[in-house]
Amino acid sequence: MPIASVIIPAAGLGRRFAAEAGASGAEAAPTKVFAMLGGRPILARTVGRFLPIANVGEVVVAAPPGRADEAREACGVAGADAARLVVVEGGPERPESVARALEASDASTELVAIHDAVRPLIRGALIEEAFRTAVEHGAAVVGRPVDHTIKRIEGGTRVAQTVPRADLWLAQTPQVFRREIILQAYARRDQLVGYITDDAQLVEALGHPVVMVRGDAANFKVTTPEDLRLCEALLAAGWPFET
Amino acid sequence: MPIASVIIPAAGLGRRFAAEAGASGAEAAPTKVFAMLGGRPILARTVGRFLPIANVGEVVVAAPPGRADEAREACGVAGADAARLVVVEGGPERPESVARALEASDASTELVAIHDAVRPLIRGALIEEAFRTAVEHGAAVVGRPVDHTIKRIEGGTRVAQTVPRADLWLAQTPQVFRREIILQAYARRDQLVGYITDDAQLVEALGHPVVMVRGDAANFKVTTPEDLRLCEALLAAGWPFET
């Protein structure tokens, strides 16, 4: 199996998270990736899902601007693993953070995986399945078939249409690419900014095939303090139930 | 506030749930609504979210065919509440079950709420907000703005398109309607069967306004044994954190 660089954009401020944590009367809300999850920062939890995987060559974290040292410390990675953790300063927007991390990554790795800092419950076996799929097809996206009814809304909350859902999937991360493909996609990103919501979309725009890998419901994005409590409950229950 | 009849279609066999529970080596998998969740059947948990609400006049459960007595017993409702629990036999498909429950419901209630049997973590305050919205607009659907990227797939797993997601919401339940509106919608359901995925869609087809109410991530549908473990973890953590 080829070696992967794992990019974790973690420069976002988590404004919604902070607003809701503040509104609920909590202490001064931290930047979301530094919020504690079962005694460790979310970022440390997420980084810690990747480092034990043998064919992860390095994890490159894009930290909030001016806070690279703090991010490295928050990760709490010591010993031999410390050499596999690279921390760079991210930019004001996610694509800029990913671009800087790409630039800082080891150019000799064949795969690049990009994973949201705030999906701390990703399973190791799923990461490896995404790696294998990217090797085979060039680009792999972890996600879930849509099993909800989806409504299109007008004017805030009024339903305009029920969207046909057969063949719709929700994209999660990791999104894994052969290095030359994601480099080519990011080289063109300025032409596409504004409507892009995930990295795979840049690759789709190039016309490269992208293949879905079925993920877990528990691989959700921590957006609110309530989501964080959900994560804590899952960790307390022993998720991800793998050795 | 007007009084509501709450309809809980619970006749589904949960084939996917049974298959995965069986595959994981568990004992003979029960019908999903009878699976235990923190010591009580899922169905009892769900019914128990509605009965404490003052303006719930009755809860009408559509049980699996031939299993009405078993369903009533599973609900474990005693004392004064027992008179507010109605159990009917459901049909082979969900719309038929809802139609039978509608027919059995108290014609004098002004609101009808329809709620999936396998969303046991619905919050009481959210139910009441949906009631108020239905009083005001005629039809209310609890849901969540889509904060995922959505992919349209071809041929199984290949991405064909990233779907623009602004203005998309995921529909959950309860879906709450003024009685005359849902009766009118169900009277026409035979013309629409096959493409309908939720009750609100029948109302949309009539041209009636339907309004979204923002719900919780924890109000998910239990589809797999893994979802059930997630529910158990949340209950153990004290969800829904309301008195």
Share of chain A above pLDDT 70, in %: 94
**Count of pairs with CB atoms under 8 A, one residue in A, one in B:** 156
DSSP character string of A108-169? T-SEEEE--TT-TT--HHHHHHHHHHHHHHSEEEEEEE--SEEEEEETTTEEEEEEP-TTEE
SS3 assignment, position A4: strand
pLDDT exceeds cutoff 60 at A28 = no
Task: Quote the pLDDT of residue A29.
Answer: 57
- ipTM exceeds 0.90: no
| CA dist A34 → A26, A93, B130, B137 (Å) | 15, 18, 35, 42
Q: Give per-residue pLDDT as tens, B138-151.
A: 999 999 998 889 99
* A15, burial (CB in 10 Å: exposed 0-12, middle 13-18, buried 19+): exposed
Cross-strand partners of B211: A158, B140
Residue B227 near chain A (CB below 8 Å): yes
> Cβ–Cβ of A158/B211 closer than 8 Å?
yes
Residue A185 near chain B (CB below 8 Å): no
Q: Where are the alpha helices (DSSP H) in chain B?
A: 15-23, 42-50, 68-75, 94-104, 124-137, 179-187, 199-205, 225-236
pLDDT exceeds cutoff 70 at A193 = no
CA of B13 vs chain A CAs: smallest distance (Å):
17
**Contacting residues for A218 by C-beta, under 8 A, at least 6 apart:** A121, A234, A239, A240, B226, B230
Residue of A nearest to B240 (CA): A226
Q: Name the packing angle between helices A94-104 and A179-187 (round to 10°).
A: 130
Place of tokens 């019908």: B31
SS3 assignment, position A106: coil
Give the residue-averaged pLDDT of B39-57: 97
Residue A230 near chain B (CB below 8 Å): yes
DSSP character string of B177-204? EEHHHHHHHHHTGGGTTTT--SHHHHHH
In whole angstroms, what is the distance from residue A198 CA to residue A188 CA? 14
B88 touches B61 (CB < 8 A): yes
Q: Give per-residue pLDDT as tens, B96-118.
A: 999 999 999 999 999 999 999 99
CA of B73 vs chain A CAs: smallest distance (Å):
29
pLDDT exceeds cutoff 70 at A27 = no
Q: Give per-residue pLDDT as tens, A76-104.
A: 999 999 999 999 999 998 999 999 999 99
pLDDT exceeds cutoff 70 at B159 = yes
> How many residues are there in chain A?
243
Give the residue-averaged pLDDT of B84-89: 98
Q: Give per-residue pLDDT as tens, A134-188.
A: 999 999 999 999 888 999 999 999 999 999 888 999 999 999 999 999 999 999 9
CA of A79 vs chain B CAs: smallest distance (Å):
33
Q: What is the mean pLDDT of chain B?
A: 91
pLDDT exceeds cutoff 90 at A31 = no
B181 touches B114 (CB < 8 A): no
Question: Which pair of tokens denotes residue A28?
Answer: 């001064």
B32 touches B118 (CB < 8 A): yes
> Cβ–Cβ of A169/B150 closer than 8 Å?
yes
CA of B212 vs chain A CAs: smallest distance (Å):
5
Task: Quote the pLDDT of residue B43.
Answer: 97
pLDDT exceeds cutoff 70 at A232 = yes
**Picking from B30-39, B43-52, B60-69, which range would have the lowest pLDDT averaged per residue?**
B30-39
- Enter the DSSP assignment of B24: T
The b-or-e profile of A147-179 (16+ CB within 10 A means b, else e) is ebbbbbbeeebebeebbebeebbbbbbbbbbbb
**Residue of B229, B231, B220, B218 whose CA lies nearest to B24:** B229
> Cβ–Cβ of A159/B218 closer than 8 Å?
no
Across the interface, of B157, B172, B232, the residue whose CB is closest to A212 is: B157
SS3 assignment, position B32: helix
Residue numbers in B near A162 (CB within 8 A):
171, 197-198, 200-201, 204
**Residue of A45, A74, A61 whose CA lies nearest to A231:** A45
CA of A208 vs chain B CAs: smallest distance (Å):
10
Task: Quote the pLDDT of residue A214.
Answer: 95
- Compare B197 and A116 and report the one with higher pLDDT: A116
Q: Give per-residue pLDDT as tens, B123-141.
A: 999 999 999 999 999 999 9
Task: Quote the pLDDT of residue B133.
Answer: 98
Of the pLDDT bands very low, low, confident and very high (cuts 50, 70, 90), residue B227 is confident
In whole angstroms, what is the distance from residue A55 CA to residue A128 CA? 9
Residues 124-153 of chain A whose Cβ lies under 8 A from any Cβ of chain B: 141, 143, 146-153
Across the interface, of B227, B232, B239, the residue whose CB is closest to A237 is: B232
